[in-house]
A and B are shown apart, each in its own frame.
Chain A
Amino acid sequence: AQTVTQSQPEMSVQEAETVTLSCTYDTSESDYYLFWYKQPPSRQMILVIRQEAYKQQNATENRFSVNFQKAAKSFSLKISDSQLGDAAMYFCAYRYNAGNMLTFGGGTRLMVKP
């Protein structure tokens, strides 16, 4: 069974600084998909970024980028120029393919200090 681990329950960052959230996963598959979701206090789950395992290039979405290390089964999220609105729970997630469920890590609570 696939597992996703987020080892940092809480992180804090100063506004405008950069922060990296860690995620590791376990799978025996070679093709799969990885995601970071953001959950603000409104509790809405919002997709931040996704990565296809067959792509070597790290995904980037504006201030958000990932460091995908397939051999190490590591998938970290880097947030640059942190903003107050980035404060939220962040969940790393794994999906084998379209026919399967999304498996979540335990989440990291990010606090942004003004």
Chain B
Amino acid sequence: DAGVIQSPRHEVTEMGQEVTLRCKPISGHDYLFWYRQTMMRGLELLIYFNNNVPIDDSGMPEDRFSAKMPNASFSTLKIQPSEPRDSAVYFCASSFWRGANVLTFGAGSRLTVL
């Protein structure tokens, strides 16, 4: 398996623009997580899905952030409009409930908002 695939690896955009981050989980995994990593706040959970259904979105910072999982093999995290404080590395991770409870992470998407 190719692992968790995220795109883009790097994104530089201007304040006010829409940003869409994409994730393809490992085939067969039924949980998908979006994390954000910053120097100030460390790794924080934004939202997670089980069988494509959002379970906990309490970490989504505000209405500018939205996440979808239209099918088992694809998820998006959208920021509209983007702000400089959204600059961070965004990780997608997936896991299988029967597994060893291990989350497998993608390589992350580094977002810079100017």
Contact = CB atoms under 8 A, between A and B. Distances in A.
Contacts of B50: 99
Interface residues of A, number: 21
A47 B42 contact: no
Interface string B42-61: 11010010100001100000
B99 interface: yes
Given A43-B89, A45-B91, A102 B103 contact: yes
Contacts of B97: 98-99
B42 A43 contact: no
Contacts of A98: 31, 95-99, 101
Contacts of B43: 91, 104, 107
Given A101-B45, A101-B48, A95 B91 contact: no
Contacts of B33: 101-102
Interface string B87-114: 0010101011111111111011010000
Contacts of A44: 105, 107-108
A45 B105 contact: yes
Contact of B101 (A37, A95, A103, A105): A95
Interface in B14-73: 31, 33, 42-43, 45, 48, 50, 55-56
A106 B101 CA distance: 21
A35 B107 CA distance: 18
Contacts of B105: 37, 44-45
A102 B104 CA distance: 11
Contacts of B107: 42-44
Nearest to B96: A98
B108 A50 contact: no
B101 A43 contact: no
A104 B42 contact: yes
Contacts of A43: 89, 107-108, 110
A85 B55 CA distance: 37
A47 B108 contact: no
